[in-house]
């Protein structure tokens, strides 16, 4: 089976994608490219357009990912704007917005979009959890230090490699692999 290219600026995502897809017998390589994202309230629309742009750039079958962190008590914010919000107010800013809030439930969505010039397919994964009270130590990237998935008391950052047992990315990639291996 042909190797798939994962196009992203985020190498952290690639390391996770590679590890997860290796358990599904799907071989993936990294193209570190910056893809212009359309502005939209819909992750699906962003992922779809991103896949087409990536295919035009790399010229072979490609997958891209679009994610969002959705916080219930903030009406789903930051959602499709997660990347901008992370760059601007960051994890400390999110914790401030939730000061005094009894409801800290949140979820991550991941959409994996595949495109080979003919077929475009979107696979989804979601993980429910909550926003921690503080920014935890232990590395990780993005919102890893403040997101606690259901089923544990540890944040993604504290879970380290076990993050993949819970993550939205794993669930989306497993759905993708099921579809892809029957293509």
Q: Which residues bind ligand IMP (CB under 6 A)?
A: 10, 65-67, 69, 82-83, 86, 141-144, 156, 167, 169
Instruction: Work out the widest C-alpha separation in the chain, in whole angstroms.
Output: 52
CA dihedral 135, 107, 183, 38 (to 10 degrees): -80
Shortest distance (Å) from residue 60 CB to ligand IMP = 21
Q: Pick the closer one to ligand IMP by CB: 30 or 86.
A: 86
Shortest distance (Å) from residue 165 CB to ligand IMP = 13
Q: Is there a catalytic annotation at residue 72?
A: no
Shortest distance (Å) from residue 89 CB to ligand IMP = 11
Q: Name the residue with the smallest CB distance to ligand IMP.
A: 142
Residues 49-62 as b/e (b if ≥16 CB within 10 A, e otherwise) read: bbbbbbbeeeeebb
Which member of 41, 66, 67, 144 is catalytic? 66
Shortest distance (Å) from residue 23 CB to ligand IMP = 17
Q: Pick the closer one to ligand IMP by CB: 76 or 102.
A: 76
Q: Pick the closer one to ligand IMP by CB: 49 or 66.
A: 66
Q: Pick the closer one to ligand IMP by CB: 66 or 158.
A: 66
Catalytic residues: 66
């Amino acid at each position: 089976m042909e190797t798939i290219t994962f196009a992203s600026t985020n190498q952290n995502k690639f390391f996770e994608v590679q590890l997860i897809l290796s358990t599904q017998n799907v071989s993936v390589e990294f193209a570190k490219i910056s893809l212009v994202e359309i502005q939209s309230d819909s992750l699906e629309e962003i992922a779809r357009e991103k896949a087409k742009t990536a295919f035009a750039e790399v010229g072979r079958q490609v997958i891209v990912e679009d994610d969002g962190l959705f916080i219930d008590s903030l009406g789903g914010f930051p959602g499709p704007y997660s990347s901008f919000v992370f760059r601007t107010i960051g994890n400390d800013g999110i914790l401030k917005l939730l000061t005094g809030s009894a409801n800290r439930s949140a979820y991550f969505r991941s959409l994996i979009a595949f495109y080979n010039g003919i077929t475009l397919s979107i696979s989804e994964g979601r993980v429910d959890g909550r926003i921690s009270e503080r920014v935890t130590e232990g590395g990780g990237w993005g919102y890893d230090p403040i997101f606690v998935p259901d089923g544990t008391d540890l944040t993604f950052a504290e879970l380290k490699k076990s993050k993949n047992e819970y993550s939205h990315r794993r669930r989306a990639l497993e759905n993708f692999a099921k579809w892809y291996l029957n293509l």
